Amino acid sequence: MKKIALFFTVASLMYGCGKAPITGRKQLLLFPESTMESMALTEYQTFLTSNKVVSQTTSKDADMVKRVGQRIAAAVTNYMNQQGNGASVSNYKWEFNLVDSKEVNAWCMPGGKVVVYTGLLPVTQNETALAVVMGHEIAHAIAQHGNERMSQQAALQGIQVAGAVALGKNPAAVNLFNQAIGVGGNVGILAFSRTDEMEADHLGIIFMALAGYNPQEAIPFWQRMAAMSANTSKPPEFLSTHPSDERRIQALQGLMPEAMKYYKPVGKS
């Protein structure tokens, strides 16, 4: 335990200088984000080849997913540049795909690799509610929550990631990455903490507002998700690690005045 504690302390001093955007929450980030993005790209491409991707040229829904994603990505990139944090997203190569699946789920890998499942669309019901979901998932990537969760686990397990040991060359770290993004059937599913989920809610409604989507749509959307969870024995995968309970909706209501400050409807000056 002493060795693990020492590792955690040394690693924190060397690499743990991250801060989440907007909230300013301090983070332990041990892994090179560029390497995580590279590994995520490989896994993302593997996922797409083994699942049914809906064509964006023939499907209005797939085109909507791409349109919403591009709007939010552009708005977030512009915001990060204005805040002097553009370097953190400069290497993002955004991709947005709709996958034919009954799962009520969506996710975003490091580097901006996004997937939405068709099973989610009957719950979102409209483009703005889809922006709620995509803003939330993009927020996880922008705030580097995957890196943070992996870093915490690496520190607890005493996995060496400092110095010359790169993520892609360390079997223990690679295994940790694979677990984090769900390699082996559950790609993109990472058990984020309650703190991360609430932070993604916070950032997500601001990101959608920056893109010209009304953040107030978040309330009825999460109410629909909560109702779905209450009416089924097994909650949707999208809710498995972040249940949509009354406290969550209350928190969003409390954040709404802040989010509305960023909201400017498209086409209005």
CB–CB of 127/64 below 8 Å?
yes
| Closest CA relative to residue 110, chosen from 137, 86, 130 | 137
Residue 53 DSSP label: B
β strands within the chain, DSSP E: 18-19, 26-27, 95-99, 106-109, 113-117
* Cα-to-chain-centroid distance, residue 175: 20
Q: Active site includes 137?
A: yes
Q: Could you say which of 33, 43, 137, 148 is catalytic?
A: 137
Tell me the HSE value of 28 on the side-chain side, using a 13 A CA sphere.
17
Contacts 24+ apart (CB under 8 A), 15-24: 15/151, 15/161, 15/162, 16/151, 18/144, 18/148, 20/143, 20/144, 20/199, 20/203, 21/80, 21/83, 21/85, 21/88, 21/142, 21/143, 21/203, 22/202, 22/203, 22/206, 23/199, 23/202, 23/203
Task: Report the chain's terminal Cα–Cα distance, integer Å.
Answer: 58
Amino acid at 75: A
Opening angle at CA 251, ends 216 and 232, nearest 5: 85
Which of the residues are catalytic? Answer: 137
